[in-house]
Amino acid sequence: MKIINNWVFAFVFVAFQYTGFAQEKQKIKIKVSDRTTGEMLYGANVQWLDTTIGATTDEYGIAELNVAGALPKKIIVSYIGYQDDTIEVHHQTEMNITLDPAIALEEVKIKGKRQTNFISSINPLKTEMIDAGELKKAACCNLSESFQTNASVDVNYSDAVTGAKEIKLLGLNGTYVQNLLEGIPVMRGVTATFGLDNIPAPWIKSISVSKGVPSVKNSYEGITGSMNVEFKNSFNDSTKLFFDMFGNQNARIETNLLINHKINKKLGTMLMANGAFVPVKQDMNHDGFLDQPLMKQYNLLNRWNYHGENIEGQYMVKVLSENRTAGQITAHHENDTLPLFGIGIKTKRVEAFAKTGYIFNTSKNNSIGTQFSGVYHQQNSNYGQQLFNTKQASFTGTVLYQTDIKNENHTFVAGANFIYDKITEKLDTIQFNRNDFVPGIFAEYTYKWTNRVTLVTGLRGDYHTRGGFQVNPRIHAKFSLTNNTTLRVAAGSGFRVPNILSENQSLLASSRTIVFQDFPSKEIAWNYGISLTQKFFLKNREANFTVDFFRTDFTKQAIVDIDNADGLATISNLKGKSFSNSLLLELNMEVAKGLDVKMAYRLEDVRATYHGKLLQKPLQALNKGLIALSYKTPNEQWQFDINTSINGKRRLPNSFEGDAGKRFSPIYALLNAQIMKIFKHGEIFIGCENITNYRQKNVILGTPFSTVFDTYQVYAPIMGANVYGGFRLFIK
């Protein structure tokens, strides 16, 4: 309590110190975009005429320019590949400037290179931006496959049969990540298990991954970081029609259709459709189980965007239908008389959101915004002879107010959230019915001192009907030590309320009996982090090196103990220590014209107390390395990508033999490669995953209905080399 009081005092002290700051220089906020597409231009130069005073736009197309001398005066706006523009400035505080593409000359061709993966230069949180172009560098059909060239995020299979995947950040499961769809919480509660497979990659415009405690604005959830997915819309994507087809040697087929119609300058709509199918049974390792589940998945989305002078709105509805069939296809032994172990999962989901923003005073950035979303999710499933059915009806609402205090160097945001979850989980005779009401309030103050220091202090309080009242203070700071050196620090706390059965469905595909020693009501953790980014130039080509370290300490946690030889999966509250240490070293550079190289090393030491012993978390790699190369020819008609990951050993959980903490997986490497041919209105690609054909041996332990049956000890690919290909067609 003393720690919380100190945080509250620090927040209040900083939030009200603006009155003592010296008067800052007047600034003008300038947004630069493409006149034809409306796309924001990153790296455009804005400079006062006949002076050396200027600024460069960030990834959102925004530059802040200090006023030099008396107005009116003229500024020059320039960007590679566009015509320069000269504009007279009077007494505006904000300006929107659009540029026309440069006139083509026979003698000279000017081209600019856009980064598809970079660290945000303005965000106080360490935020990695993943553009749609980065997703094309690998076999990426859905969100779970969007991180093959990313060093911070891991995606692993939860078990060997259902195909469910889970994200990991800072060595901890995705349940500790604040998952957002355009700022609105998604993949919550019972939807978390298969949620990564339900977001098609061709719908994604960008993904931003922030490490460390997130902002207090979006929701109370999020301990290790946040992941925000931005879909394509009529204002951030100029493609009018998009169609693609993907297929691989394992008979997986995916297709997408996107229709984009910009009705006028203010209003646009987009229709997105997706189908994913796995119709053929395969058992390449001859263990009697399907290597991947048979699947039929359909996604349909319609969205509307409105951009007025003082009002902006985004409205979306999405529906999903998915059927999965997994499990045995042949008996393990010829004399087996038991029925085959089958898994069937049927999911229906409907969701919608509405976001509206009102700007009252542009000079002070006075605005109010509302966000509302609703979800209905139903899953009916069987794991062998066990029936597991879940339902979730959720509503989230947020109202926030933002204003500048004195000037734009002092920004204050405050608001309220409300979350309602009605959740039903039923496993045979065990049933949990929950009605969770979570009202919360928050406030966040941002202070900018010139372009060198940005400080963000936030505080939120929430009341959860299961978890009680919780206060979470958070602070983030960014220091621009030089023009090329950025230091970030962050600290704060977060909490969440677990849904044990839904979040541990992989345990149902085993012979372990789930036993509740306790009924964990909430998980609480503190997260601390520091990162340093250094930009430099090699032969006039930009490069950057990043090092970051984050630690997470749990004070309360739900522990799932499978390190016992008694055949039980014991659920209890944490009794002892639980922590995560994560260190990342990453180098990105263009070593030759068109050739980008990424090299990274990550160390993650994650430990928790199981039945009185502090053990390394099972199935978590201690070390990992990544090398990714991407080459695009000078005429930009061919692109070649190759990436390899070296995965360190992982502690394997107890396999019913009383050897807890002594079993480890081998070190292995994975190699992927892809070639893409680029046309004016299309792309053709072909590639291969797991070129070295590495496969995990004995991925399924024991036989169904025996006392030692186990399918969740997955640490490596189940299938070998996988050749894939496809095409994309688009009209702009």
The band of 9, judged by pLDDT with boundaries at 50, 70 and 90, is very low
Whether pLDDT at 303 is above 70:
yes
The band of 59, judged by pLDDT with boundaries at 50, 70 and 90, is low
Whether pLDDT at 22 is above 70:
no
The band of 286, judged by pLDDT with boundaries at 50, 70 and 90, is confident
**Which two structure tokens, joined as six digits, stand for 465?**
């009907």
Whether pLDDT at 110 is above 50:
no
Which helix H or strand E contains 370, and what residues bound it? strand 366-383
Distance CA 382, CA 426 (A): 11
Nearest-10 Cα torsion for 217, 220, 221, 227: 0
Distance CA 715, CA 156 (A): 8
Q: For residue 626, what are the β-bridge partners?
A: 600, 645
Whether pLDDT at 103 is above 60:
no
Q: Greater confidence, 344 or 365?
A: 344
Q: Which of 1-10, 507-516, 635-644, 649-658 has the highest mean pLDDT?
A: 635-644
Chain centroid to CA 233: how far? 19
Q: For residue 537, what are the β-bridge partners?
A: 542
What is the SS3 assignment for 5? helix
Q: What is the DSSP string of 179-243?
A: EEETTEE-S-GGGTTTGGGGSBGGGEEEEEEEESS--SSS-S--SSEEEEEEE--TTT---SEEE
Tell me which amino acid residue 76 is: I
**Which two structure tokens, joined as six digits, stand for 655?**
């396999």
Sign of the alpha-carbon torsion through 218, 219, 222, 223: positive
Q: Tell me whether strands 225-231 and 177-181 are parallel, antiparallel or unpaired.
A: parallel
Distance CA 160, CA 712 (A): 6
Mean pLDDT of 560-580: 90
Q: Quick check: 699 and 714 in contact, CB under 8 A?
A: yes
- The conformation of residue 527, written as its DSSP 8-state character, comes to E
Q: Quick check: 447 and 476 in contact, CB under 8 A?
A: no
- The conformation of residue 626, written as its DSSP 8-state character, comes to E
Q: Quick check: 315 and 290 in contact, CB under 8 A?
A: no
Q: Taking the domain 117-731, which CATH number applies?
A: 2.40.170.20
Find, among 610, 601, 599, 554, the residue nearest to 582 by Cα. Answer: 601
For residue 296, how many C-alpha atoms fall within 13 Å in the half-sphere facing its CB?
6
What is the SS3 assignment for 411? strand
What is the pLDDT at residue 31? 86
In angstroms, the Cα distances linking 716 to 158, 507, 561, 696 are 11, 18, 22, 5
Distance CA 144, CA 135 (A): 11
Q: Percentage of the chain with pLDDT > 90?
A: 55
Q: Greater confidence, 25 or 119?
A: 119
What is the pLDDT at residue 658? 63
What is the SS3 assignment for 64? strand
Torsions phi, psi for 211 (to 5 deg): -100, 140
Mean pLDDT of 400-415: 90
Q: Quick check: 495 and 507 in contact, CB under 8 A?
A: no
What is the pLDDT at residue 628? 95
The band of 23, judged by pLDDT with boundaries at 50, 70 and 90, is very low
Distance CA 438, CA 397 (A): 11
Q: Quick check: 508 and 390 in contact, CB under 8 A?
A: no
Q: Which residues contact 393 (CB under 8 A, 6 or more apart)?
A: 374, 375, 376, 377, 421, 422
Distance CA 365, CA 407 (A): 9
- Cis bond upstream, residue 202 (ω within 30): no
Tell me which amino acid residue 566 is: D
Start-to-end C-alpha separation, the chain: 58
Chain centroid to CA 349: how far? 21
Sign of the alpha-carbon torsion through 27, 24, 48, 111: negative
What is the SS3 assignment for 697? coil
Whether pLDDT at 12 is above 70:
no
**Sheet order of strands, 153-157 included:** 153-157, 165-169, 172-173
For residue 273, how many C-alpha atoms fall within 13 Å in the half-sphere facing its CB?
5
Q: Quick check: 348 and 358 in contact, CB under 8 A?
A: no
Q: Quick check: 550 and 177 in contact, CB under 8 A?
A: no
What are the pLDDT digits (tens) for 429-443? Answer: 888 899 999 999 999
**Cα Rg of the chain, angstroms:** 26
Counting every residue written for the chain, the total comes to 732
Q: What is the DSSP string of 435-464?
A: EEEEEEEEEEEEEEETTTEEEEEEEEEEEE
The full set of domain ranges for the chain reads 2-99, 117-731
Q: Taking the domain 2-99, which CATH number applies?
A: 2.60.40.10
What is the pLDDT at residue 8? 44
Among 136-145, 223-232, 416-425, 595-604, name the one with the lowest average pLDDT. Answer: 136-145
> Beta-carbon neighbour count of residue 436 at 10 Å?
17
Whether pLDDT at 268 is above 60:
yes
What is the pLDDT at residue 657? 67
Find, among 315, 374, 326, 318, the residue nearest to 348 by Cα. Answer: 318
Q: Which residues contact 173 (CB under 8 A, 6 or more apart)?
A: 166, 167
What are the pLDDT digits (tens) for 690-726? Answer: 999 999 988 888 888 888 888 888 999 988 899 999 9
Burial 390-402 (b: 16+ CB within 10 A, else e): bbbbbebbbebeb
Q: Greater confidence, 660 or 351?
A: 351
> Beta-carbon neighbour count of residue 429 at 10 Å?
6
Distance CA 716, CA 188 (A): 27
Distance CA 72, CA 442 (A): 41
